[in-house]
Amino acid sequence: MDLTIKEIAEVLGSSQTSEQKITNVEFDSRKITTGDLFVPLKGTRDGHEFAAYAQESGAIATLWSEDVSEAPAGLFVFFVSDTKKAFQKLASYYRQKLAPKVLAITGSNGKTTTKDMTEAVLAQKYQTYKTQGNYNNELGLPYTILHMPETTEILVLEMGMDHAGDLTLLSQIGQPDAAAITLIGEAHIESLGSREGIAKGKMEITAGLKKDGVLFIPVDEPLLSPLIRPLNQKVVTFGLKEGMVQAEVLNTTKQSTEFSIDGKNFLIPVIGSYNVKNALVAYSFGHYFGLSNEEIAAGLKNFHLTKDRTQWSKAANGADILSDVYNANPTAMGLVLDSFAELTLPGRKIAVLADMLELGKDSKQMHRQMAKHIGDSLAEVYLYGSDMEALYQVLKDSNKDVFYFTEDRKKEMIEAIKRDIQAQDSVLLKGSNGMGLAEVIIALQEK
């Protein structure tokens, strides 16, 4: 890391003069190594309580917003009024210092997959660094910036939001050269009130977008149309068979999807037309930064998904498991159910669906609407969680085997699934992360 004690002091208005370099910046004291700067943040516990432990682990400096007399001896101390804001300010400075091109990606669904695709594409030509895991909020984004290698030429930032104003802050810290919105769904509708509110929230990604920058948006999202009119930056639309950048899906298998753009064929190692839309964003970023179709195709073909996003694995008895359990909203669940239905697979198709959280007062109705995505190709459906009862009431009298389990019956559900599935079956698991379907996957994999 290319930051000195003196440099940090100048950024934060402190008075240190040492030219000693900082090795890294960490806000988790358990990750501290020799030469690090510790950032104590206030959460369930006050991070200041762990400064001594950070020092023992090798920290040489710390931010400090508590009483001056309580500051740890033996550390370079940067006195600030708010450690989180100071952390964010330091990240903004570091981005300016290294001066990579910055890409920003947001959306109700697909932003992590799109980030992974985009980084893989741009890595064909540039030194790239991307948001690791789901570090996409007011802490994770500055952490990502401060952890990028000094050689980074393009920084790919995933930007998440829970409330109005979140993306304004992240975009102003990141100052993107180009940005993309994958889609407008229902994620966080409880706090944003409506899909219109979500669309406005996603458009905040333009708050820090460079004046000569570009914004990529889905052509089939009418809620964005009135919001882009005041923009001075270039707007490019993408979509399946429509938009300024278009793709046509050619073939889908269990392991991949093939599609074409302007007569050139591409392949991605994931299922679903919705993932082709994500690939269109990566393609657009690639062309924006001068990559050839061949370079883009190589990146897309070999990109690696962040864990728990539409991943295939094996159950202990040989059945195939399609896991998409990191998060869920009606748009995302409908898309993956439709894509699963389109696949030609041996044996039966079984779906295990858990509650979609944070949908607000219309949650039960949104769960009921999933019935239109449960077609004849699904042999059995397991429903789990209090809101999934609404879907069960719709499906229980159908000619399909449907099983419903409350949240206190997870072990019972797991045992039922294990007894039921056969070696030739394929099992889709989809639900919000808070519902713990990852435990079900582990149980199915255990011999």
Q: Which of 267, 301, 335 finishes a domain? A: 301
| Angstrom distance (rounded) from CA 92 to CA 421 | 51
Q: Which of 238, 273, 301 finishes a domain? A: 301
Task: Please enumerate, by residue number, every residue annotated as part of a binding site for ATP.
Answer: 107-113
State the CATH number of the domain containing residue 134.
Answer: 3.40.1190.10
Task: Please enumerate, by residue number, every residue annotated as part of a binding site.
Answer: 107-113
> What is the model's pLDDT at position 287?
97
* Residue 109 pLDDT exceeds 90: no
pLDDT tens, position by position, 335-364: 999 999 999 999 999 999 999 998 888 899
State the CATH number of the domain containing residue 12.
Answer: 3.40.1390.10
* Residue 46 pLDDT exceeds 90: yes
Burial environment of residue 198 by CB neighbours within 10 A (0 to 12, 13 to 18, 19 or more): buried
Q: Which of 117, 162, 116 is nearest to 137 (CA)?
A: 162
> What is the model's pLDDT at position 398?
87
Do 285 and 433 fall into the same domain?
A: no
Do 214 and 278 fall into the same domain?
A: yes
| Angstrom distance (rounded) from CA 374 to CA 388 | 13
Do 399 and 318 fall into the same domain?
A: yes
Do 132 and 279 fall into the same domain?
A: yes
Q: Would 360 be classed as within a structural domain? A: yes
pLDDT tens, position by position, 399-430: 889 999 999 999 999 999 999 999 999 999 99
Do 72 and 183 fall into the same domain?
A: no
pLDDT tens, position by position, 356-391: 998 888 899 999 999 999 999 999 999 999 999 999
Q: Would 91 be classed as within a structural domain? A: no
Q: Which residue has the higher pLDDT, 327 or 384?
A: 384
Do 285 and 163 fall into the same domain?
A: yes
Q: Which of 50, 83, 116 finishes a domain? A: 83
Q: Would 306 be classed as within a structural domain? A: no
Report CA-CA distances (Å) from 105 to 115, 205, 310, 335, 367.
Answer: 7, 8, 19, 20, 27
Q: Would 88 be classed as within a structural domain? A: no
Q: Would 375 be classed as within a structural domain? A: yes
> What is the model's pLDDT at position 289?
97
> What is the model's pLDDT at position 266?
98
Sheet holding 61-64, edge to edge: 25-26, 37-38, 61-64, 76-79
Do 242 and 159 fall into the same domain?
A: yes
State the CATH number of the domain containing residue 344.
Answer: 3.90.190.20
CB 214 within 8 A of CB 234: yes
| Angstrom distance (rounded) from CA 215 to CA 233 | 7
* Domains: count for the chain: 3
CB 109 within 8 A of CB 221: no
Q: Would 90 be classed as within a structural domain? A: no
What mean pLDDT is predicted for residues 65-91?
96
Range of the domain at 239: 100-301
Write the Ramachandran bin of 426: left for phi over 0, alpha for psi from -120 to 50, otherwise beta.
beta
* Three-state secondary structure readout of 12-72: HCCCCCCCCECCCEECCHHHCCCCCEECCCECCCEHHHHHHHHHHCCCCEEEECCCHHHCC
What mean pLDDT is predicted for residues 88-110?
96
Do 289 and 321 fall into the same domain?
A: no
Q: Would 404 be classed as within a structural domain? A: yes
* Tokens, residue 253: 């298998």
pLDDT tens, position by position, 173-198: 999 999 999 998 876 676 676 889 89
Report CA-CA distances (Å) from 236 to 90, 148, 172, 242.
Answer: 32, 28, 21, 12
Write the Ramachandran bin of 35: left for phi over 0, alpha for psi from -120 to 50, otherwise beta.
left
| pTM for the structure as a whole | 0.90
Do 248 and 319 fall into the same domain?
A: no
Q: Would 95 be classed as within a structural domain? A: no
Do 198 and 327 fall into the same domain?
A: no
| Angstrom distance (rounded) from CA 3 to CA 25 | 10
Do 114 and 39 fall into the same domain?
A: no
